[in-house]
Amino acid sequence: MIANKNVLRKNGFKFGAAVLTTALLLTGCGGGGSGKEAAKVSLENRYELDPETPAWKLDKKEEPTQLTWYVNADWWNTDFGSDVVTKKIKEDLNIDIKFITGDDTKLNTFFAGGDMPDLITVFDANSAVAQKAASWALPLDDLADQYDPYFRKVAAEDTLNWFQLKDGKTYGYPNYSNTQANYDDGEIQATTAFAIRQDIYEALGKPEMGTPEQFESVMKEIKSKYPKLIPFGFNAIGEGTGSLGDTLQDFLGVPLETEDGQFYNRNLDEDYLAWVKALNTVYRSGGISDDSFADDGTAFEEKVKAGKYATLLIGGTPQLSGSLQTFKSAHPDQAYMAIDGPQSTEGRQPTLNQSGITGWMVNYITKQCKDPAKAMQIFTYLLSDEGQILMQYGIEGETYKKNADGKIELLPEVNDMRLNNSDQYKKEYRMSEFMFFGHDKYALLSDNGSPESIKQMRQWGEGKLVPHFVLENINPDQGTPQARSLTAINTKWNTALVSLIRAKDDASFDAVLNDYKSFLDQNGWEDIVKVRSEKMAANREKLGLK
């Protein structure tokens, strides 16, 4: 019930690789670790280890444990203990958490200055910080043995194996880590959709938009009949590609790899480029606003709340659910709905992506943690069914009940606030927001586990998900020449994609595309492809993929 994590990671949480890598090299990534590392905590008079019982239920420590938790995102809600979810966590675990937030610069100061928090959450499992975790974080394997063996019952073995570093130990654990079993069991729901306002869809006679020609025609008709609306909208681009890159490629079923298993440059796929050309045609006819290329996430969401877009390509329906719900509540007959929209010109089926095995937020216990036993209890608690249900639905009898079918139902007053006052809902309940170890499968426990505004969108996405495991964490290691080249290439593609869509004519379009291709050749693209292909092979071996 969180955003499309891949979209957010690409557009909102890019590490300052050069700065961080420099700091890590200078400090060994454990700046303050020397001489300050936490000694093993004694469990005497607290509890005895029991593999069948989570340690938080056994711990007799009377005074509350004070822990600091750094989250590398300025937007994170630092409140703890006043809403339903965190108040219950505080009571059950007898803890008081002080959240600290910041950006890459602040994260860098921890490693350079030596005063580390007890826990750290980052958003890039492939970053230098994550790859050097052995020098500043404690291994979860050892912590489980020492303080909470029940952790192994709630942690996914495939996820632990995936996050192993070269020393064979696992230091970080993510949220939304979906394994092959989760996909096979149908526990994962789509978070991508092409949506159109219901009133417009019906007024235009439920038009087809599967081919570029159909899409262009409908956008022109919308522009003519609804001059106050923006015919086509998409997620904020920022330094990435919004929903016009990987999201659109997945919609079109662009291959993930070559026929012989090598890395495939999806940006140059002919099917995809045909649709980029269609977007250029739509732009030239006034169907795409220039503002859309400059809007940040907040501006985009405000326009969704007001129903300013006639159609939307959404990467991350759960994140946008609040804005979609605001518009739906105010205009129930105009609510956004998912339709097939753009389709492959080559007959491919959609291969929608969801969070893979790498997940999104990666959580660590640092070597300076004051009470690693209590920190480990947090991991186990939040990963357990008890913690997952709390984070997503709150407390039975207080925020939800179970119906005759055993399904979770939010209480009427709670659900009403969720639908009609999302800001107050977040403040009082914080359900589906405090999701450090959240998992998509728990949305299936309730028929209203998904916000009303995106239920139909998720139903549309059934059967269209295809794991992208083979493409996870395949970028060149930070600090290498290939990594520096890739940074430049990604920046070039960001500007190239915008320029392609805004090209004034076909000649300009072709010139931008050829310039991008030349840039690849001039910046060691072949070497990057080689590295990625090798890492793809390692992924297949790690996961037992063919």
Q: Which amino acid is at 386?
A: E
Q: How many CB atoms lie within 10 A of CB 199?
A: 15
Judge residue 260's burial from the number of C-beta atoms within 10 Å of its C-beta, 0-12 exposed, 13-18 middle, 19 or more buried.
Answer: exposed
CATH architecture for the domain at 5-183+357-394: 3-Layer(aba) Sandwich (3.40)
Cβ(160)–Cβ(140) below 8 Å: yes
Sorting pLDDT into bands at 50, 70 and 90, what band is 37? low
Sorting pLDDT into bands at 50, 70 and 90, what band is 33? very low
Give the whole-angstrom CA distance, residue 117 versus residue 374.
14
Q: In what order do the strands lie in the sheet with 309-315?
A: 230-234, 309-315, 192-197, 336-339
3-state helix, strand, coil in the chain (%, to 5): 45, 10, 40
Q: What backbone torsions phi and psi does residue 356 show, to the nearest 5 degrees?
A: -90, -155
Give the whole-angstrom CA distance, residue 134 versus residue 115.
17
Candidates 3, 95, 69, 40; CA nearest to 381 is 95
What is the number of H-type helices and E-type strands within the chain?
A: 23, 11
pTM of the model: 0.79
pLDDT exceeds cutoff 90 at 79: yes
Q: Which amino acid is at 528?
A: I
Cβ(352)–Cβ(464) below 8 Å: yes
Give the whole-angstrom CA distance, residue 356 versus residue 289.
33
Q: What is the pLDDT of residue 94?
A: 98
Q: What is the pLDDT of residue 418?
A: 87
Joined together, the tokens standing for residue 17 give: 């690789």
Q: Which residues pair with 531 in a beta bridge?
A: none
Range name among 3-7, 53-57, 92-96, 318-322 with the lowest pLDDT average: 3-7
Cβ(128)–Cβ(98) below 8 Å: no
Sorting pLDDT into bands at 50, 70 and 90, what band is 29? very low
Q: What is the pLDDT of residue 36?
A: 56
CA distances from 243 to 19, 292, 305, 399, 518 (A): 28, 12, 18, 34, 25
Cβ(451)–Cβ(431) below 8 Å: no
Joined together, the tokens standing for residue 196 give: 């159109």
pLDDT in tens, 245-264: 999 999 999 999 999 999 99
Give the whole-angstrom CA distance, residue 380 versus residue 152.
8
pLDDT exceeds cutoff 80 at 18: no
Q: What is the pLDDT of residue 75?
A: 87
Cβ(121)–Cβ(364) below 8 Å: yes
Candidates 80, 79, 73; CA nearest to 101 is 73
Q: Which residues pair with 65 in a beta bridge?
A: 95
Q: What is the CA radius of gyration of the chain?
A: 24
CA distances from 410 to 35, 397, 399, 417, 429 (A): 50, 9, 6, 10, 12
Q: What is the pLDDT of residue 440?
A: 84
CA distances from 263 to 258, 291, 359 (A): 6, 34, 21
Give the whole-angstrom CA distance, residue 18 versus residue 20.
6
pLDDT exceeds cutoff 60 at 14: no
Torsion angle (degrees, nearest 10) of CA 274, 276, 280, 283: 130
Candidates 433, 412, 359; CA nearest to 86 is 433
Give the whole-angstrom CA distance, residue 248 versus residue 272.
8
CA distances from 206 to 218, 229, 359, 464 (A): 10, 18, 37, 22
Q: What is the pLDDT of residue 39?
A: 60
| For residues 280-309, average pLDDT | 95
| For residues 171-188, average pLDDT | 91
Joined together, the tokens standing for residue 157 give: 């073995």
Sorting pLDDT into bands at 50, 70 and 90, what band is 11? very low
Residue ranges, CATH 3.40.190.10, the chain: 5-183+357-394, 192-353+442-546
- At CA 481, angle to CA 30 and CA 31, rounded to 5? 10
Cβ(6)–Cβ(177) below 8 Å: no
Could you identify the residue written with the tokens 């499968």?
A: 441
Give the whole-angstrom CA distance, residue 241 versus residue 258.
23
Average pLDDT, the chain: 91
N-terminal to C-terminal alpha carbon distance within the chain: 31
| For residues 272-288, average pLDDT | 98
Q: What is the pLDDT of residue 545?
A: 78
Q: What percent of the chain stands above pLDDT 90? A: 79
Kindly state which CATH superfamily the domain 192-353+442-546 is placed in: Periplasmic binding protein-like II (3.40.190.10)
Joined together, the tokens standing for residue 53 give: 């019982």
pLDDT exceeds cutoff 80 at 86: yes
pLDDT in tens, 410-450: 999 999 998 888 889 989 999 988 989 999 889 889 987 67
Give the whole-angstrom CA distance, residue 209 versus residue 310.
13
pLDDT in tens, 223-241: 999 999 999 999 999 889 9
pLDDT in tens, 477-532: 888 999 999 999 999 999 999 999 999 999 999 999 999 999 999 999 999 999 99
